[in-house]
């Protein structure tokens, strides 16, 4: 009589990561409690650790690491001594970050005024944008910047060759300019040269470069003002 063939099936480990939760099975946690905020530019990387300190590494040819020089780094280096950073975003060669007091800071390439400082001077260290302390969220495109304030208003600056600022024109702006008069913006994201934003009523709006139909408007025409996406 033949011995029955015994098949052993290894247990399958499935890890579910719920929204708002961290996957702690990998190397994403350290003694300081992890990395709650991450951002990547074209060739540079940024993170804010749980202690609210900002770190940067990678390409630094435009000062986008914020370390006061233009030397590339292959390991994380702390940006300054501040320990009140809240959010960070990376453009292709520029960086913007938000502090817990609501102030907005930018550095790196500024050829089109994407730092929002009223000039086109490159910066290799964080510089505060104006005096406002009610910034809430931010996004960085190729060479344009978009940010939300706590009052629900949306602001844009930088390159505008495709209308990516949403201001109804095609001119670059070196300082924050309010996008329309709406005060119910909730979330914003930036592509290479187009922008997408969500309102509190759940409606989705897009503008800017539409060469490949990335605005979702049923055509390939560029827009220089927010247009609602119909589903």
Choose among 137, 141, 124, 145: nearest CA to 41: 141
pLDDT at residue 23, rounded to an integer? 31
pLDDT at residue 18, rounded to an integer? 31
pLDDT at residue 36, rounded to an integer? 83
83 contact partners, CB below 8 Å, separation of at least 6: 51, 52, 53
Report pLDDT digits (tens) over 91-100: 999 999 999 9
Q: Structural domain boundaries of the chain?
A: 37-228
pLDDT > 70? residue 112: yes
pLDDT at residue 32, rounded to an integer? 53
Q: Per the structure block, which two tokens stand in for 130?
A: 């104006």
Question: What pTM was estimated for this model as a whole?
Answer: 0.85
CATH assignment, 37-228: 2.130.10.30
193 contact partners, CB below 8 Å, separation of at least 6: 141, 142, 143, 144, 159, 161, 162, 164, 208, 209
Instruction: Write a three-state SS string for 117-174.
Output: CCCCCCEEEEEECCCCCCEEEEEECCCEEEEEECCCCEEEEECCCCCCCCCCCCCCEE
Whether residue 94 contacts residue 78, with contact meaning beta carbons closer than 8 Å, is answered with no
Choose among 155, 174, 165: nearest CA to 223: 165
| Burial (CB count within 10 angstroms: exposed 0-12, middle 13-18, buried 19+), residue 25 | exposed
Per the DSSP assignment, residues forming a β-bridge with 173 are 158
Q: Where does the pLDDT of residue 35 fall: very low under 50, low under 70, confident under 90, or very high at 90 and above?
A: confident
pLDDT at residue 184, rounded to an integer? 98
pLDDT at residue 193, rounded to an integer? 98
Task: Give the pLDDT mean for 207-216.
Answer: 98
Choose among 218, 219, 182: nearest CA to 197: 182
Report pLDDT digits (tens) over 173-209: 999 999 999 999 999 999 999 999 999 999 999 999 9
Whether residue 180 contacts residue 154, with contact meaning beta carbons closer than 8 Å, is answered with yes
pLDDT at residue 216, rounded to an integer? 98
Task: Give the pLDDT mean for 152-180.
Answer: 98
């Amino acid at each position: 009589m033949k011995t029955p063939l015994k098949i052993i099936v290894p247990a399958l480990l499935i890890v579910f990561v719920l929204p708002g939760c961290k996957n702690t099975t990998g190397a994403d946690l350290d003694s300081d409690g992890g990395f709650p905020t991450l951002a990547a530019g074209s060739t540079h990387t940024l993170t804010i650790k749980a202690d609210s300190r900002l770190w940067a590494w990678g390409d630094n040819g435009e000062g986008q690491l914020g370390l006061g020089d233009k030397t590339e780094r292959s390991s994380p280096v702390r940006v300054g001594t501040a320990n009140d950073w809240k959010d960070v975003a990376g453009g292709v060669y520029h960086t913007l970050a938000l502090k817990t007091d609501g102030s907005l800071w930018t550095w790196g390439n500024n050829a089109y005024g994407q730092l929002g400082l009223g000039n086109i001077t490159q910066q290799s260290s964080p510089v505060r944008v104006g005096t406002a302390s009610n910034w809430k969220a931010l996004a960085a495109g190729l060479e344009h910047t978009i940010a939300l304030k706590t009052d629900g208003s949306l602001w844009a600056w930088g390159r505008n060759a495709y209308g990516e600022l949403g201001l109804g024109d095609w001119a670059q702006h070196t300082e924050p300019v309010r996008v329309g008069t709406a005060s119910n913006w909730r979330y914003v994201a930036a592509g290479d040269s187009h922008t997408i934003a969500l309102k509190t009523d759940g409606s989705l709006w897009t503008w800017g470069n539409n060469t490949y139909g990335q605005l979702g408007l049923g055509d390939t025409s560029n827009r220089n003002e927010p247009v609602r996406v119909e589903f």
